Chain A
Amino acid sequence: MISLDALKELKPFQARSIIEDLRKGSVPVEYVPVFTVGRQKWLSYIEDDLENYIAQGGAKVRFISGDYGDGKTHFMSVVQHLAMEKGFAVSFVVLTRDVPIHKFETVYQSIVRQLQGNFDGVGIRDLLTAWLDSLSTEFQDAKAEAATEKCTALAEGFRDIPDMDINFANALAALVNNRFAPMAEEEDEVSRKADREILMHWFDGGKVTKREIKPFQIYEYLTKTNARQLMNSLILFLRRFGHQGLILLMDEMETVVTMSASVRNAAYENVRLFIDNSETAQYLHIFFSIIPDVLVSEKGFKSYDALWSRVRSIGTSMGDAKRLNYRGVLVDIHQTPLQTEELVDLGRCLLSLHGVAYRWSPQALVTDKVIEDICASQKRMGVISEVRLFIKQLIGVLDLAEQGQSPEDMDMARQMVETRKEMEEEKMKQMEPSWDN
């Protein structure tokens, strides 16, 4: 999947930002296709789902399971790029203390803020602006009466979309009026701008008063009760604006495990509702990333019967534990670690990136043998699946090599232990309990 042409196209500052991100252990989401290897089978089944099921009107929830450093976020970023290539709108949400899954209305706000698709920019405001721009040709040179009639016809069209929330439809109609309808006597540019801001704020899921939105015939603002309905309406709108559907990627769901029992239950109930919602939702694919702990620990999904009965692992089949179901609800990337040759491929890609970033030629010093040695060390330690460890280790070697140290003089085993220690500390930091629930 690595495109060497794309690598050559990169400017030094772009390559450098990728290396900086990887050094920190984070994923440079924008450039993911540039250095992706392996996991083709998972991706081909996901691609098949997107084309032949979700785009046809299906809805589905999947869990991407992998340990820290296995490449969950990276995998999700690949799915994000894949989905956007296929014409879907995508929202990549990292579940944190500020965006907790047990508060769906907060998650919804994050979903609309992170929305990307066939429009410039990120977020629902940019989507709506692009949509209004696309309508402007219809209103060009239209006389006042004709413009009013067009606005009315559009508004009725929104309201007639089956299953469209009436508030969402009215908000769209109000935006069209705000942009294209002739000005009323008491209106001016300033008041129009203020109205537009109120509407955009409503679409953002922001706090608005009922008095502010009533003139637009919007009677509800975002609450936990209507968040799901609004999301389904958003999908209907996205379809109307030329998208195949919506792909939601929710990263770091494992943070739920450290929360109190009541918060955990509310969170699991929401996940369960997401799954059950796929009975009624359309054109929607949701991915949650989790660590295996969420599936095995007593505070994980097991603690919530209604969810556990839906997602519990199917277990082994016919006594053969190694058979993975690539169509299954669980995308178990921990069970499908990258092979040595794939890691070597990735290593070569990192070499090129490092070379472009720091304007040097690492290939002479850091050979394939060095990369294979790193893989062998990881294998010996039983952590071959940890891609992040491999990347960090290799970048460390490249940094030292660029500063004049020969890889042959480096103590790989010791370096690996140190890198792991560093990663363990990061992991502990992530797992710290939150006190604000």
Chain B
Amino acid sequence: MDEKAFSEQINGTKNFYLRRAVERIREGLFDPLGVQWLTSGEEKLNQLFDRGVEALDKGTPYHLCVCGAYGQGKSHSLTYLKQRALENNFVVSYINLDPRQIPFHDFKAVYRALMGAMVFPNEETNLVKVWKESAAQWLARPENKDKAIGDFITGDMPHRFRAILAAMVHNNMEIPANKRKLKKHARFQPRSFAWTLKNALMGKEIPAHKLAAAFHYREVPFYKGGSLVCREPKEYLAMVKGLARLFKEMGYGGWVLLFDEGESIGQTRITSRSKSYDLLHEIFCPERPAQGFYPVFAFTHDFFTLVETEPWDRTRRPGGRQKADQPTEEIPCFARDYHKAWKKINIHSLQDLSPGEWETLSGKLRILHSRAYEWAPETADIDREMKQILSQNKGAESRMKLRLLVNQLDLEQQKESC
């Protein structure tokens, strides 16, 4: 973004958002506005993203791994890609993986987080609303007049979720008031159906019997055709891929999934890591391409060092009870040697900015800070000091340099207010 456009944008932004951007940089965090205004090296990121879009258009699978040290700008880059994806008509979910709250091996928790973080290109976040509108449009097309909504929902989704999506489009069955009190209609609770379906779609623990009632009274014809229980991580991954494809059918580019803190996968125990690698493998090297499915991961270099050094041939005793008279066969801890299997994955290693880029960034930061805290810095002096700070801290990571620059601006402002 050039200086003129930057100044225009900053002038039209509420003070709170300017201040939040500076506050977050000071804490070593990133901010959507900060990303929009302070990103350097956009060209490379744009190229990478567009390469993925091209691949998906051709029907070939694609993924991206952004790799860098702590504080080098991985989250910043992912946020930039998120904005780029939204501009390119993709649905986007950005989540932070975390061994305690969102462990990758528990893909149900990951699914929940992805659904909770979903954003559509028009800033809409309500999937149910978007889906209902889209389904109504699809059913209204003349060529679909003899079709049911089930034909629009992709078949590779778990049965439970296909039924949920279908039920969302249907209306409740009409039950006359005098019959509602009958025992056979005890499950008829029309007010709770919408809530039940929405939460079930979001991955919440809604019991199958409660869902079955909603499907029955919403007249989903195929709901008895399969299990309404969904427990396996791979089923949730299939759902994610299915939704990505559905988004494409709905007219979006697909679903861009941004997984930050990917290195947290390596912080879990070996059995969990094994499950995570298995899921990653299905994402990096799928047997068949999933339309519209565009995953982006952020890893530190430590993660790939771990992948390189994992004991891939390690075995373990199977769990459960063993018969004393029969020798137990040891089973492998990992399905394969992933270090070998992932030789050709797409990795983008982050580089530090050039001195020129840092200088431009410092100027923007000065303007942002002065507007956020409503003060007038001595431009020449402060620019010189910021330059000096950058030259004194050449080896520091990007996050640290940004914090140092904000710190310097803070000190200057406090000197003024004394």
Contacts and interface: CB of A to CB of B under 8 A. Distances in A.
- The main secondary structure of chain B at its interface with chain A is helix
A60 B408 contact: no
A56 interface: yes
Given A309-B399, A329-B26, A159 B16 contact: no
Contact of A53 (B20, B192, B199, B389): B20
Interface stretch (A134-142, A270-278, A351-359, A427-435): A270-278
Contacts of A345: none
B100 A225 contact: yes
A53 B27 contact: no
A228 B28 contact: no
B242 to A, nearest CB: 24
Contact of B205 (A58, A220, A311): A220
B139 interface: no
Interface residues of A, number: 37
Interface in A268-307: 269, 273, 275-276, 278-279, 305-306
Contacts of B400: 309, 312
Interface residues of B, number: 39
A58 B27 contact: no
B131 interface: no
A166 interface: yes
B199 A166 contact: yes
A225 B100 CA distance: 6
Given A52-B19, A58-B20, A225-B109, A278 B411 contact: no
A310 B27 contact: yes
Contact of A306 (B70, B100, B397): B70
Given A275-B29, A305-B70, A310-B28, A58 B23 contact: yes
Nearest to A104: B100
A46 to B, nearest CB: 13
Which residue among A52, A224, A279 has the maximum number of chain B CB atoms within 10 Å of its CB?
A279
Interface in A312-331: 312, 314, 317-318, 323, 325-329
Nearest to B101: A225
B16 A57 contact: yes
Contact of A58 (B19, B195, B388, B408): B19
A15 interface: no
A325 B31 CA distance: 21
A318 B388 contact: yes
Contacts of B191: 152
Contacts of B389: 317-318
B24 interface: yes
B291 interface: no
B348 interface: no
Nearest to A226: B101
Interface string B383-418: 001001100000001011001100110110010000
A174 B370 CA distance: 49
A166 B98 CA distance: 22
B70 A328 contact: no
Contacts of A275: 27-29
B30 interface: yes
A259 B19 CA distance: 37
Given A269-B100, A309-B70, A318-B385, 5 more contacts: A217-B192, A276-B29, A276-B96, A279-B30, A312-B400
6 contacts: A58-B16, A61-B27, A219-B206, A225-B109, A228-B101, A328-B26
Top 5 A-B residue pairs of the complex, sorted by shortest distance between their CB atoms:
A310-B28, A309-B70, A309-B71, A56-B16, A314-B407
